[in-house]
Every structure is written in structure tokens, then in C-alpha cells.
């Protein structure tokens, strides 16, 4: 097949090694950062990870102008506005985000407001940021969202109970510092669910209608790495090697989906996150296998392509191999101790119809191989409840 069109971009320099955060200050200084504003959350502060990063900044000659450590697990438009106001008051010429997707996306939102002025929601929509923003460095403390390398930020509007996606080629950080030691303390449940988020990025990017040969290469290797290392990272949290490879898998998956986009699994997860605060990775983990089954008639060959990455021997027609891949997804989630039903993730049955309506309107649905109406999504929600 001759692909119609290719457009792949990634503006982030990616560095990785065990203990790399000790070089954070030097690296920030190298890109011209002299006064940093640190963005993180209280849990990471208590674990000493924020202090570790700040010590490194200072040692590298970068002053810490201020910090915002009140990012909640599902960041919010009002949080971004408050954090941006704090950063604006503190001064500084580089944002340093230390955290999971919520923290890094908050910093991306702040970067838009600080660099361009106005309110965060002024930048919701396509093609609104067409020039470089201020300097941003990301140190992920989970291996899941890949936000340290993506061109997008997902931020909730608490009042409207909706998750908005912000997209621009300039949203990606200048530098991603992948240090497995920064993820060692992540508990098994969070390790597993965030890892399944990364897997969902790779799988949905690969079968996406916007997939391209570059994102394909990244997605295939991401699936292989995540499938191989997620159980070990989950059950042996202090295994630095497993943590390293999960950061790599999540990063590759992030680069893939940042360009190829995702599909119905993410559309449904966004809806459940907006309406019921279901953790993003958990929702994706539960819905990935059902989502693939829904797409089977439209993407059997693409799903079957993933077989070697899952360690599944391709056999028989594509549909048969694709079914084996879907079973591999189910058994990986099970091996990592994650539930298979939405009722075990805080979802209420009487909210499924509203969630299906929201998912049908989510931007991620447009690149799903098989078109999906609210009615079809509701059937999937009910089957998975
Ligand atoms: Fe995701």
C-alpha cells in the first residue's frame, strides 16, 4: 500500500539513564534556563522527589524562583490558571515539571498562558499556537502518559465535567529527563494502570486512521517493551531495569500517538474520567480489549500485526491472530492485577448513557478505525460493566 501522506513531528530532546535527575540542573542550564519555576504535587514532595530535582537545579547553577505543588491527580482549568498566576508572580525563565501526566499537562497549560497571555481556554482548539512557547523541561515520575514528549495536554473542566485536549506542535517540552529512579516508589496498582495507558497509546496509535510509517515503528517497539516489562515493573517496583524500560515504552508510545492520535478506547476513558473521575489508565486498561474487539472487522490485519510484539505466534487468518492479540491484552492486565469490569473502577451503571454520549463527541473517536455512535459505545460500556 502507498501511504497517502506523512507528517511526523517531535520537538523534544529525550535523555535517559538511572540517576539522570542529578544532571537536571546542568541540562536546564544548557538550554538557557537560569531561574526555574517547579511544578509538581504534594505526594512527590513527600517522597523527596521534588527536593531531589531542586537540589540538582541549584547545584547546576539554576535558581528556583518558585514552585506550585498543588496539582491534583486530574488537573483542572482553574488549577492551571492559579499555577500560571503563581509562576508569573515568581518570575523565572523555565518551567520544570516533575510528575505524572497531570503535572506535565498542567505545566504545558501554564506555558501557553504565560507565553501567550489570556486564559487557558483561549487555546482550546486546533492551530491556535503556531510559534515556540517558553522553555519547558519534564521529568516523568510515572511511565504512562508519555506527556513528556507529546504535542498535547489533557485538562479537565471541573464545572463542565469534560476533559479538553489542547494540541500544538509547540506544546512538547524542550527536554524530557527519563530517570527510572524517579519512578521506583510508584505503587503496584498505579504502575500497572499507567503502564496500560502507555500500552493503549501504542495499540490505538498503530490501528489509528492517522497512523503513519514513523509512528508505526515507534508503536510496535513500544508494545514489545511494555508487554515484556510491565509485569516486572508492577510486581518488583524497585527493579531499576524494568522501570527504565517502562519509561522508554511509555515515551515511544507517547511519540507515536502524539502524531497518529488514538481511538475509541481513549474517547471512552476521557468520558469516564470527566464524569466519574475514573483514573485514566484504569479506564483504558479495562476498555482496551473490548475496544479492539469492536474494531476487529475494520482493523483485523493491523491488530494481527501486533502479534510478534505481544509474543503471540501469528497463525491462520488475520482475524484469528487478532483475537489472540486481544487475549494477550486481557491476560497482561490480569497478570498486573487490574480489574476487567467498569463496576470495579467506580463507574455507576446509571451513568453509562451519559458517558457514551460524551465519548461519541470526544476528538479521539475520529481516528478510530470503525465509526462509533453513542449507541454503539453504550453497548460496549454495558458489555464491559
Ligand atoms: Fe492516555
Co-location of 229 and 373 in the same domain: yes
Residue 337 phi, psi dihedral angles, 5° rounding = 80, 20
pLDDT, tens digit, for every residue of 280-330?
999 999 999 999 999 999 999 999 999 999 999 988 999 999 999 999 999
Co-location of 28 and 177 in the same domain: yes
pLDDT, tens digit, for every residue of 200-249?
999 999 999 999 999 999 999 999 999 999 999 999 999 999 999 999 99
Confidence of residue 3 (pLDDT cuts 50, 70, 90): confident
Residue 131 CB neighbours (<10 A):
8
Co-location of 344 and 246 in the same domain: yes
* The pairing of beta strand 152-157 with beta strand 162-167: antiparallel
Q: Ligand 1 centre and the CA of 133: distance in Å?
A: 24
Confidence of residue 162 (pLDDT cuts 50, 70, 90): confident
Confidence of residue 23 (pLDDT cuts 50, 70, 90): very high
Place of cell 493491523: 302
- C-alpha pair distances (Å), 357 with each of 164, 343, 374, 377: 15, 19, 5, 8
Q: Ligand 1 centre and the CA of 253: distance in Å?
A: 10
Co-location of 65 and 171 in the same domain: yes
Co-location of 147 and 198 in the same domain: no
Co-location of 131 and 106 in the same domain: yes
Q: What is the helix (H) or strand (E) element at residue 144, kind and residue range?
A: none
pLDDT, tens digit, for every residue of 67-79?
999 999 889 999 9
Cα torsion 173, 179, 181, 186 to 10°: value is 40
Co-location of 132 and 75 in the same domain: yes
Co-location of 270 and 363 in the same domain: yes
Buried b (16+ CB within 10 A) or exposed e, 24-33: bbebbbeeeb
Q: Ligand 1 centre and the CA of 84: distance in Å?
A: 24
Co-location of 239 and 353 in the same domain: yes
Q: Is residue 2 part of a domain?
A: no
State the angle between helix axes of 374-384 and 280-305 in degrees (0 to 180), rounded to the nearest 10.
110
CB 349 within 8 A of CB 236: no
Residue 306 CB neighbours (<10 A):
26
Q: Ligand 1 centre and the CA of 175: distance in Å?
A: 20
The candidate with the shortest Cα–Cα distance to 144, out of 210, 96, 189, is 189
Q: Ligand 1 centre and the CA of 81: distance in Å?
A: 23
Q: Is residue 8 part of a domain?
A: no
Mean pLDDT, all residues of the chain: 96
Q: Which CATH number does the domain housing residue 281 bear? A: 1.20.1090.10
CB 250 within 8 A of CB 226: yes
Co-location of 82 and 205 in the same domain: no
Q: Ligand 1 centre and the CA of 280: distance in Å?
A: 7
Q: Is residue 7 part of a domain?
A: no
Q: Which of 158, 183, 208 is the last residue of a domain?
A: 183
Q: Which CATH number does the domain housing residue 134 bear? A: 3.40.50.1970
Co-location of 83 and 230 in the same domain: no
User: Residue 320 sits in which domain range?
Assistant: 188-384
- Kindly tell me the sign of the dihedral angle through the C-alpha atoms of 90, 93, 95, 96: negative
Q: Is residue 177 part of a domain?
A: yes
Q: Ligand 1 centre and the CA of 35: distance in Å?
A: 31
Q: How many CA atoms lie within 13 A of 374 on its CB side?
A: 10
Mean pLDDT across 355-382: 97
Residue 127 CB neighbours (<10 A):
8
Reduce the DSSP state of residue 23 to 3 states and report it: helix
Q: Is residue 6 part of a domain?
A: no
Q: Ligand 1 centre and the CA of 257: distance in Å?
A: 9
Co-location of 292 and 375 in the same domain: yes
Q: Which of 148, 168, 183 is the last residue of a domain?
A: 183
CB 179 within 8 A of CB 251: no
Q: Which of 166, 183, 200 is the last residue of a domain?
A: 183
pLDDT at 160: 80
Angle at 50 between CA 46 and CA 56, to 5 degrees: 140
pLDDT at 110: 98
Number of domains composing the chain: 2
CB 278 within 8 A of CB 161: no
Amino acid at each position: 500500500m502507498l501511504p497517502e501522506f506523512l507528517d511526523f513531528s517531535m520537538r523534544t530532546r529525550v535523555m535517559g539513564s538511572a540517576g539522570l535527575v542529578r544532571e537536571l540542573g546542568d541540562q536546564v542550564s544548557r538550554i538557557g534556563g537560569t531561574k526555574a519555576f517547579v511544578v509538581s504535587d504534594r505526594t512527590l514532595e513527600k517522597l523527596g522527589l521534588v527536593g531531589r530535582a531542586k537540589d540538582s537545579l541549584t547545584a547546576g547553577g539554576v535558581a528556583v524562583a518558585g514552585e506550585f505543588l498543588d496539582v491534583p491527580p486530574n488537573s483542572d482549568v482553574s488549577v492551571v490558571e492559579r499555577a500560571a498566576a503563581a509562576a508569573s508572580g515568581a518570575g523565572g525563565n523555565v518551567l520544570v515539571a516533575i510528575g505524572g501526566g497531570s503535572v506535565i499537562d498542567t505545566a504545558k497549560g501554564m506555558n501557553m498562558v504565560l507565553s501567550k497571555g489570556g486564559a487557558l481556554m483561549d487555546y482550546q482548539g486546533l492551530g491556535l499556537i503556531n510559534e515556540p512557547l517558553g522553555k519547558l523541561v519534564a521529568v516523568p515520575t510515572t511511565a504512562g502518559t508519555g506527556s513528556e514528549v507529546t504535542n498535547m495536554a489533557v485538562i479537565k473542566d471541573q464545572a463542565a465535567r469534560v476533559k479538553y485536549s489542547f494540541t500544538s506542535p509547540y506544546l512538547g517540552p524542550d527536554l524530557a529527563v527519563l530517570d527510572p529512579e524517579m519512578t521506583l516508589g510508584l505503587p503496584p496498582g498505579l504502575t500497572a494502570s499507567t503502564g496500560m495507558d502507555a500500552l493503549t497509546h501504542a495499540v490505538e496509535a498503530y490501528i489509528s486512521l492517522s497512523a503513519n510509517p514513523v509512528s508505526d515503528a515507534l508503536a510496535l517497539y513500544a508494545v514489545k517493551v511494555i508487554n515484556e516489562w510491565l509485569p516486572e515493573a508492577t510486581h518488583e517496583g524497585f527493579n531499576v531495569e524494568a522501570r527504565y524500560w517502562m519509561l522508554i515504552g511509555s515515551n515511544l508510545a507517547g511519540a507515536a500517538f502524539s502524531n497518529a492520535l488514538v481511538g475509541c478506547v481513549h474517547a471512552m476513558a476521557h468520558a469516564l474520567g470527566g464524569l466519574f473521575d475514573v483514573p485514566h489508565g484504569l479506564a483504558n486498561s479495562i476498555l482496551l480489549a473490548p475496544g479492539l474487539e469492536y474494531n476487529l472487522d475494520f482493523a483485523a490485519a493491523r491488530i494481527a500485526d501486533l502479534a510478534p510484539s505481544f509474543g503471540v505466534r501469528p497463525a491462520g487468518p488475520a482475524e484469528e491472530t487478532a483475537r489472540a492479540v486481544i487475549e494477550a491484552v486481557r491476560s497482561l492486565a490480569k497478570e498486573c492485577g487490574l480489574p476487567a469490569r467498569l463496576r470495579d473502577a467506580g463507574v455507576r451503571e446509571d451513568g453509562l448513557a451519559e458517558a457514551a454520549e460524551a465519548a461519541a463527541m470526544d476528538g479521539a473517536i475520529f481516528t478510530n478505525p470503525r465509526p462509533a455512535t453513542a449507541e454503539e459505545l453504550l453497548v460496549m460500556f454495558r458489555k464491559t460493566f
